[in-house]
């Protein structure tokens, strides 16, 4: 599918990235080619050559109209950035722009967007199992774990339970259908909040394309492919990916430190690079505890003794007050925990009751549909005609004659009065005899 819009897509962070790695020179590898924004930016900023890597064939089809402008300075390589060290060595720099691109979201047939109805696909490489395969074949526990771990969705188990129930009736194969199911499980989004299905779609996309595995493999591949002094620039938008990148760079820069001062010291590997970070303002040097200590040590000692006397006098009261505060805090924490437990139990009970009511409503609708279908079937004119012909003699029906029909003007109007009853018959005794 070729691109129809010749205007290049410019990433929002292209300028800050170019500023951070300036001056741009030598050979760079763009591990997430996409619409070519970073590749074109680095070529125009001074890169001698850029190796553009992407696993989506659509990316290279879209780049065909303008790729020839750069000649042999642009090398397009189909693949994944976790194998970039197989495509090039001794690189001056590597840039990665993680996540899904706008060109994929804009195409409904790719199945990435919950805003546009299309097949539930989400495959960046356009091969292998799709998101529909995952949604319809994975177990409830697997779906819940994927949605929770990759999408950080707290209602993951509720969503997974509903998806499993829905696919028992019919496979889930459309993005609009999946979006509607997820939205029915969550509260309505407030103004300014993201769509309720955002986190679920993100989780499925990450799982289908193994984005976390590709990211970790890509970071290690970049380390192998970069030459000494090379630069690695990564743009992240998802919190989990952001933590992965920061921890990798921190570990490779030898700045991990010891998280627990009581834990034994762990031998640190030699730093493999430098992790650029924004540093805070430096701390002021500590001031002497006693300014008079410089010239009058005895005066300082006397002041210290007076302070010690005041401390001894107030120690007991401070300890009692501190103990009282601790007790109140502990009681408050216990009370809050008990209240939270009760509220959680009550909320879960309401949710379970709501699920049962929804199930009963669905069953009632199904029974009603069956009854309506049976009513329509039983009242078909052809069926009624066949029944009348079969049971004509048993029901003692009479055939219709043409003389039994007439015109409207032949009907007497007004209707003649009924003749008065002159010889009434008492039938009450007849009914009593029949009862006996």
pLDDT digits (tens, 9 = 90+) for 269-278: 555 555 565 4
Residue with the bigger pLDDT between 101 and 302: it is 101
Least confident of 104-108, 123-127, 180-184, 225-229: 104-108
Residue with the bigger pLDDT between 68 and 261: it is 68
Q: Which two tokens stand for residue 315?
A: 């120690």
Q: What is the pTM of this model?
A: 0.56
pLDDT of residue 51: 94
- Answer yes or no: is pLDDT of 53 > 70: yes
User: How far apart are the C-alpha atoms of 87 and 33, rounded to whole Å?
Assistant: 14
Report yes or no: 83 and 213 within 8 Å, Cβ to Cβ: no
pLDDT of residue 417: 72
**Residue ranges of the chain assigned to CATH 3.40.50.150:** 1-97+210-256
- Cα-to-chain-centroid distance, residue 314: 57
Tokens 């177990």 sit at which residue? 139
Percent of the chain with pLDDT over 70: 77
pLDDT of residue 297: 40
Average pLDDT, integer, range 366-370: 84
- Cα-to-chain-centroid distance, residue 72: 41
Average pLDDT, integer, range 329-347: 87
- Answer yes or no: is pLDDT of 351 > 80: yes
Per residue in 1-35, pLDDT (tens digit) is: 444 444 445 677 888 999 999 999 999 999 888 88
Confidence of residue 48 (pLDDT cuts 50, 70, 90): very high
Per residue in 60-74, pLDDT (tens digit) is: 888 889 999 999 999
* Bridge partners (DSSP) listed for residue 52: 30, 76
pLDDT of residue 255: 62
| Cα dihedral 360, 139, 141, 184 in deg (nearest 10) | -40
Task: Give me the helix-helix angle, 140-151 and 198-209, nearest 10°.
Answer: 100
Half-sphere exposure of 68 (CA within 13 A, CB side): 3
Average pLDDT, integer, range 143-150: 92
- Answer yes or no: is pLDDT of 316 > 50: yes
- Cα-to-chain-centroid distance, residue 254: 34
pLDDT of residue 262: 44
pLDDT of residue 273: 57
Strands of 226-235's sheet, edge to edge? 74-78, 49-54, 27-30, 91-97, 226-235
- Compute the residue count for the chain: 436
* CA distances to 61, 101, 115, 147, 199 from 153, in Å: 35, 22, 19, 6, 6
**Residue ranges of the chain assigned to CATH 1.10.150.170:** 108-209
Residue with the bigger pLDDT between 302 and 429: it is 429
| Range of 242-251, 281-290, 313-322 with top mean pLDDT | 242-251
- Answer yes or no: is pLDDT of 226 > 60: yes
pLDDT of residue 359: 87
User: How far apart are the C-alpha atoms of 127 and 129, rounded to whole Å?
Assistant: 7
Tokens 């012909």 sit at which residue? 389
Tokens 């309401």 sit at which residue? 350
User: How far apart are the C-alpha atoms of 30 and 70, rounded to whole Å?
Assistant: 15
Residue with the bigger pLDDT between 173 and 369: it is 173
Least confident of 46-50, 130-134, 345-349: 345-349
Question: What is the three-state SS of the chain?
Answer: CCCCCCCCCCCCCHHHHHHHHCCCCCEEEECCCCCCHHHHHHHHHCCCEEEEEECCHHHHHHHHHHHHHHHHHEEEEECCHHHHHHHCCCEEEEEEECCCCHHHHHCHHHCCCCCCCCECCCCCCCCCCCHHHHHHHCCHHHHHHHHHHHHCCCCHHHHHHHHHHHHHHCCCCEHHHHHHHHHHHCCCCCCCCCCCCHHHHHHHHHHHHCHHHHHHHHHHHHHHHEEEEEEEEEECCCHHHHHHHHHHHHHHCCCCCCCCCCCCCCCCCCCCCCCCCCCCCCCCCCCCCCHHHHCCHHHHHHHHHHHHHHHHHHHHHHHHHHHHHHHHHHHHHHHHHHHHHHHHHHHHHHHHHHHHHHHHHHHHHHHHHHHHHHHHHHCCHHHHHHHHHHCCCCCCCCCCCHHHCCCHHHCCCCCCCCCCCCCCCCCHHHHHHHHC
Residue with the bigger pLDDT between 218 and 271: it is 218
CATH superfamily membership of 1-97+210-256: Vaccinia Virus protein VP39 (3.40.50.150)
Confidence of residue 106 (pLDDT cuts 50, 70, 90): low
Confidence of residue 365 (pLDDT cuts 50, 70, 90): confident
- Answer yes or no: is pLDDT of 137 > 90: yes
Arithmetic mean of pLDDT over the chain: 79
Q: Whose CA is closest to 218, among 96, 301, 68, 395? A: 96
Residue with the bigger pLDDT between 415 and 436: it is 415
pLDDT of residue 4: 41
pLDDT of residue 166: 93
Confidence of residue 315 (pLDDT cuts 50, 70, 90): low
Average pLDDT, integer, range 169-192: 89
Per residue in 156-166, pLDDT (tens digit) is: 999 999 999 99
pLDDT of residue 324: 84
Task: Give me the helix-helix angle, 140-151 and 156-169, nearest 10°.
Answer: 140
Q: Whose CA is closest to 66, among 12, 8, 4, 1? A: 8
Residue with the bigger pLDDT between 126 and 49: it is 49
The CATH number of 108-209 is 1.10.150.170
């Amino acid at each position: 599918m070729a691109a129809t819009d010749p205007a290049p897509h410019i990433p929002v962070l292209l300028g800050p990235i170019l500023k951070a790695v300036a001056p741009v020179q030598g050979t760079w590898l763009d591990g997430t080619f996409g619409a070519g924004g970073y590749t074109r930016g680095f070529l125009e900023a001074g890169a001698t050559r850029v190796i553009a890597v992407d696993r989506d064939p659509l990316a290279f089809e879209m780049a065909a109209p303008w790729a020839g402008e750069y000649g042999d300075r642009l090398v397009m390589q189909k693949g994944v950035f976790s194998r970039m060290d197989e495509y090039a060595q001794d690189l001056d720099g590597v840039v990665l722009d993680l996540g899904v691109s706008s060109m994929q979201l804009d195409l409904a047939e790719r199945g990435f967007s919950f805003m546009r109805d299309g097949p539930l696909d989400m495959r960046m490489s356009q091969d292998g199992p799709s998101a529909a395969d995952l949604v319809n074949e994975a177990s409830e526990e697997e779906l819940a774990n994927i949605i929770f771990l990759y999408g950080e969705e707290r209602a993951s188990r509720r969503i997974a339970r509903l998806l499993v129930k829905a696919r028992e009736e019919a496979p889930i194969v459309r993005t609009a259908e999946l979006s509607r199911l997820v939205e029915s499980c969550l509260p309505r989004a407030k103004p300014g909040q993201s769509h309720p299905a955002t986190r679920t779609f993100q989780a499925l996309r990450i799982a289908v394309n193994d984005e976390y595995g590709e990211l970790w493999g890509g970071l290690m591949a970049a380390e192998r492919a970069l030459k000494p002094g090379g630069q690695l620039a990564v743009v992240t938008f998802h919190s989990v990916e952001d933590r992965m990148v920061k921890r990798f760079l921190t570990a490779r820069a030898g700045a991990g430190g010891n998280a627990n001062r009581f834990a034994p010291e762990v031998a640190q590997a030699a730093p493999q690079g430098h992790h650029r970070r924004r540093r805070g303002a430096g701390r002021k040097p500590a001031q002497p505890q006693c300014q008079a200590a410089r010239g009058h040590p005895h005066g300082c000692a006397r002041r210290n003794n007076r302070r010690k006397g005041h401390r001894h006098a107030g120690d007991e009261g401070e300890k009692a007050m501190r103990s009282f505060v601790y007790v109140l805090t502990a009681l408050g924490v216990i009370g809050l925990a008990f209240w939270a437990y009760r509220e959680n139990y009550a909320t879960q009970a309401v949710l379970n009751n709501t699920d049962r009511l929804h199930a009963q409503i669905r069953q009632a609708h199904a029974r009603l549909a069956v009854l309506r279908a049976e009513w329509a079937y039983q009242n078909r004119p052809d069926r009624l005609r066949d029944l009348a012909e079969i049971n004509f003699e048993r029901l003692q029906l009479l055939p219709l004659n043409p003389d039994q029909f007439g015109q409207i003007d032949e009907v007497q109007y007004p209707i003649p009065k009924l003749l008065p009853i002159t010889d009434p018959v008492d039938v009450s005794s007849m009914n009593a005899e029949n009862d006996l």
